Amino acid sequence: MSGSTLEDYWLEQPFPLGQDCQVIPDESPAHAHQNITERPTQFRGIEEIVNADYRTETGFCQDCENNCELLSLYRDGELVGRSGSRCEKNNL
């Protein structure tokens, strides 16, 4: 690998792609908002992600005998995700 960069090394390595995968050759800001599949997305933009107020909350589920510890994620006061439910009743 002498004389080349680590980036060159990784670019030369074979990488198996699934049916729905496409390679984006450049990660410049011009490609950041490109929708490759032309399917609608819920991406709100980097600025909104970075500037949002996030908080987490933990609690225990009492719906069954598993007594799971739930982790809830809030963005700007709105519940946007929850995980930890083994029976999956309370996961979002």
**How high does pLDDT run on average in the chain?**
75
* Residue-level pLDDT at 1: 47
Best CA proximity match to 7, nearest among 30, 20, 26: 26
CA distance 71 to 30: 35
Residue with tokens 């979002």: 92
* Residue-level pLDDT at 5: 65
CA distance 12 to 8: 6
What pLDDT digit, counting tens, does each position of 37-80 carry? 677 777 778 888 888 899 999 999 888 888 889 999 999 999 99
Q: Residues 6 or more apart from 13 whose CB is under 8 A from it?
A: none
